[in-house]
């Protein structure tokens, strides 16, 4: 569920949408020959909250965003935009907060309350040499932790 919220957040943010359009994919769904800039979201770990009594609805974990582009510079720029978009993201906003209305669609579409998303790490994705006329893709991974609550 957190992946849906992050995907919507990324493609609904003007600066990111200018670069990737709707090309934010979940792991395993990116078209094989896609050469345009895109982001692939992968949930790395999830820990569901536990209690001895009633069930708890809090979930923590880690997500990775692979920012891919035709040049290293473009991949770095896309990673910067992605980091700026998700770092510090929360749906725990007062209606007076200027970030409240831009995230309204996400809060209405995805049935979770995101308490925080924090970027922790960023690293280059190693490219493999290609044969023939194939065009390489360059990438930067952005790792973030999250805490959300199911509604």
Q: Is 127 left (phi over 0), alpha (psi -120 to 50) or beta?
A: beta
The sign of the CA dihedral 30, 6, 42, 50 is negative
On whether the pTM is more than 0.75, the answer is: yes
Of 40, 34, 54, nearest to 137 (Cα)? Answer: 34
To the nearest 10 degrees (0 to 180), the angle between helices 72-86 and 2-12 is 110
The span from the CA of 122 to the CA of 20, in Å, is 19
| Residue 52 clears pLDDT 90, i.e. is over it | no
The model's confidence at residue 140, banded by pLDDT at 50, 70 and 90, is very high
* CB contact set of 58 (below 8 Å; sequence gap of 6+): 49, 115, 147, 148, 149
Of 39, 100, 85, 47, nearest to 65 (Cα)? Answer: 39
The span from the CA of 117 to the CA of 101, in Å, is 18
pLDDT in tens, 54-109: 666 788 999 999 999 999 999 999 999 999 999 998 887 776 666 666 677 777 78
The pLDDT value given to residue 149? 87
The span from the CA of 63 to the CA of 39, in Å, is 12
């Amino acid at each position: 569920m957190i992946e849906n919220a992050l995907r919507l957040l990324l493609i609904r943010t003007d600066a990111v949408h200018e670069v990737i359009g709707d090309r934010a994919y979940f792991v395993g769904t990116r078209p094989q020959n896609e050469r345009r800039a895109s982001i692939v979201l992968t949930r790395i770990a999830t820990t569901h909250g536990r209690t001895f009594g009633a069930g708890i609805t809090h979930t923590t974990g880690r997500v990775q965003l692979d920012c891919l582009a035709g040049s290293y510079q473009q991949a770095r720029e896309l990673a910067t935009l992605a980091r700026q978009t998700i770092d510090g993201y929360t749906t725990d906003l007062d209606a007076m907060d200027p970030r409240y209305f831009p995230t309204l669609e996400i809060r209405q579409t995805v049935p979770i309350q995101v308490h925080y998303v924090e970027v922790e790490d960023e690293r280059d994705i190693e490219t493999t040499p290609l044969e023939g006329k194939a065009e390489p893709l360059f990438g930067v991974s952005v790792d973030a932790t999250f805490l959300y609550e199911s509604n």
